[in-house]
Amino acid sequence: MEKELRVRPIKNGTVIDHLTAGLALKVVKILGIDETIKEVVSIVMNVSSESMGKKDIVKVENRELNSDEVDKISLIAPKATINIIRDHEIVEKHRVSLPDTVEEFIECPNSKCITNTNEPIKSKFKVINEKEVKLKCEYCQRTIKGEITGYIKKP
Amino acid sequence: MKLKDKDIVSVEDLSKGDISKILETTKKIDEGDLKADMSGKVLANVFFEPSTRTRLSFETAMKRLGGDVISLNSTQASSISKGESLADTVRVLEGYSDVIVLRHPKEGAPKMASQFVEKPVINAGDGSNEHPTQTLTDLYTIWSEKGSIDGLKIAILGDLKYGRTVHSLVQPLVEYDIQLYLVSPSQLSIRRSILEDLGKKSGEVIQKASIEEIIDKLDVLYVTRIQEERFADKEEYEKVSGSYEINKELLDQADDDLIVMHPLPRIDEISPEVDGLKQSKYFDQSKNGVKIRMALLELILGDNDGKRT
């Protein structure tokens, strides 16, 4: 049985499960995980799932992601579940929920927006949850919809 | 909602009730009933883009109410040319004044400024985003000329893509029970996201490519200039420049009670021959700009909280 596992269970950390196949790399990007991270990160793509057919999973060892961090994921993966693991046990399990606003990590696509200047402010978007999720810039009022990962700020 | 000390950065910040209050106060001022006394108060006019009407009408409004005005008109002649941020500039000016009127090419600049200062900030135009005091002027002109906004057939013609007066005006207009025609060359049609928001309100919104087919139905024709300065590509501007003109011949087909408005400046969208017709209201509209700004200053800075006895 153990041999069939592609990635071993983690002892401590966070497992982001039920990601629609193909979203893992985008989720990693939204979480700001890049080559500077010290923790072990496992990315599993296209594994079989009874409920979803195929799914992706992201595991971050020895780091418990807080809800502000994980709720950002809901912008692209509303069905994702978050498992917090301590000593091999799932101690918390919850779905991501859409935040009311998102700050800083999205860049306004409007080059004339005041947030794309050297002024001492962070970008801020209101999250509008209609048929599809839209983000509206609180400053210039420009709306982003569809593929939002392209607007994630470069570190 | 009380307007005392309120920032006016977007028309979205104003409820229909706020707008009615502003229009009613403007009407009283229009009738010669001046209540507010701004003596001892200072308005800071902070303009990072050229302006004639907006800057001077704020200045006139404040002076007619007995207040004083300080101005920062050129980025060359101040610390901004030394690299000072807008956030710092407004915090400094807050120490000198009671209200800050800001025009800036960056969209959302007044919203940002309002977060750095306690004193009220009034948006006098931010890029192609919004121009709320022009909108109030426009609404007042329609309301005072027609007696009501509900029930009207209103067309907005021209640059619906870049014109900030349009972006500000359409939002409160559709709160009324109106038919709103948006008429523009296809390259200059209104942004889809704005159109989607409009679709949820009471007013009916209809897009048209030419004014000729609806001119005989209209109560109000609001004409705008093509915003040459907002085009990244000169050739794109040339393609649409001069693509519509309001002249006597067109207005012959219109109702006698139609009013023709324009936020000014105009280039060639309205032929000078229209100026003498009773339908032309754009210079009255411009004059209303002072009264509406007096009303706003009274409501934002006045001591009587907008109450008139």
Residue B227 marked as a ligand binder: no
User: Are residues A80 and A137 located together in one domain of the fold?
Assistant: no
User: Are residues A87 and A27 located together in one domain of the fold?
Assistant: yes
CATH class of residue range B132-286 = alpha beta
Averaged pLDDT, B203-211: 92
**Topology (CATH level 3) of domain B11-129+288-301:** Rossmann fold (3.40.50)
pLDDT band, residue A1 (cuts 50/70/90)? very low
User: Are residues A126 and A108 located together in one domain of the fold?
Assistant: yes
Q: What confidence score (pLDDT) does residue A85 get? A: 96
| Domain(s) of CATH 3.40.50.1370: residues in chain B | 11-129+288-301, 132-286
Task: Give this complex's ipTM.
Answer: 0.87
> What pLDDT digit, counting tens, does each position of B145-176 carry?
999 999 999 999 998 988 888 988 999 999 99
Helix, strand, coil percentages for chain A (3-state, nearest 5): 15, 40, 45
Query: Which of A110, A139, A145 minimises the CB distance to B111?
Result: A139
Q: Cβ(B166)–Cβ(B198) under 8 Å?
A: no
Residue B103 marked as a ligand binder: yes
Interface residues from chain A to B (CB-CB < 8 Å): 110, 112-115, 117-121, 134, 136-143, 145
Best mutation site among A110, A139, A142, A144 for testing chain B: the one with the most B CBs within 10 Å?
Answer: A139
Q: Cβ(A7)–Cβ(A44) under 8 Å?
A: yes
Residue A150 in any domain: the answer is no
Residue A31 in any domain: the answer is yes
Q: What confidence score (pLDDT) does residue A135 get? A: 94
| pLDDT of A87 above 70 | yes
Q: Which residues on adjacent β-strands are paired with residue A85? A: A13, A90
User: Are residues A33 and A106 located together in one domain of the fold?
Assistant: no
> What pLDDT digit, counting tens, does each position of B33-54 carry?
988 899 999 999 999 988 888 9
Judged on CB neighbours under 10 Å (0-12, 13-18, 19+), B166 is buried
Q: What confidence score (pLDDT) does residue A32 get? A: 83
User: Are residues A75 and A108 located together in one domain of the fold?
Assistant: no
